[in-house]
């Protein structure tokens, strides 16, 4: 079962037509990913301190199905749907009152940060995969 994130759409999330401005959906996806990580017991600080890594996005996209407006409650489901050796794919589905609003995805990599600031991808440790799977994502 995917991890859920609830968002009350603010006036500032909307464009002049009163509907959510499309880049905001990427913000809502990021909130859902952060919630998934917290549910798994991780956060970006812990990843950097414990593993010396970041998990940057290398690809992202979205399909917009129906509009959402000011004061709508947007529920975003987040799930890891694919694990590679050094990367993983997160799938998102957003809805208001059970009506599909958007679908999106991100591809992220396990990126080791060296003391000199250089970044290289490396293998994702199994404990991280297991924790996210237990938090509601696809199996590892």
Catalytic positions, please?
Answer: 15
The rounded distance, in Å, linking the Cα atoms of 125 and 99 is 37
Integer-rounded Cα Rg, in Å, for the chain is 16
Scanning 1-140, the segments in alpha helix (DSSP H) are: 23-39, 44-46, 126-134
The rounded distance, in Å, linking the Cα atoms of 135 and 140 is 12
Q: Which two tokens stand for residue 51?
A: 């593993």
DSSP reduced 3-state for 82 = strand
Answer for the pair 6, 82: CB distance below 8 angstroms, yes or no. Answer: no
């Amino acid at each position: 079962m995917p991890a859920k994130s609830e968002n009350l759409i603010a006036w500032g999330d909307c464009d002049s037509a009163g509907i959510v401005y499309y880049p905001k959906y990427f913000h809502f996806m990021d909130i859902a990913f952060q919630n998934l990580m917290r549910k798994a017991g991780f956060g970006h600080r812990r990843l950097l301190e414990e593993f010396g890594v970041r998990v940057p996005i290398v690809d992202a996209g979205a399909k917009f199905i129906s509009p959402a407006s000011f004061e709508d409650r947007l529920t975003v489901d987040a799930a890891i749907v694919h694990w590679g050796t050094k990367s993983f794919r997160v799938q998102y589905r957003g809805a208001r009152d059970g009506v599909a609003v958007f679908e999106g995805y991100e591809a992220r990599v396990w990126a080791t940060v060296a003391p000199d600031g250089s970044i290289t991808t490396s293998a994702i440790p199994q404990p991280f995969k297991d924790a996210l799977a237990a938090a509601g994502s696809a199996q590892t």
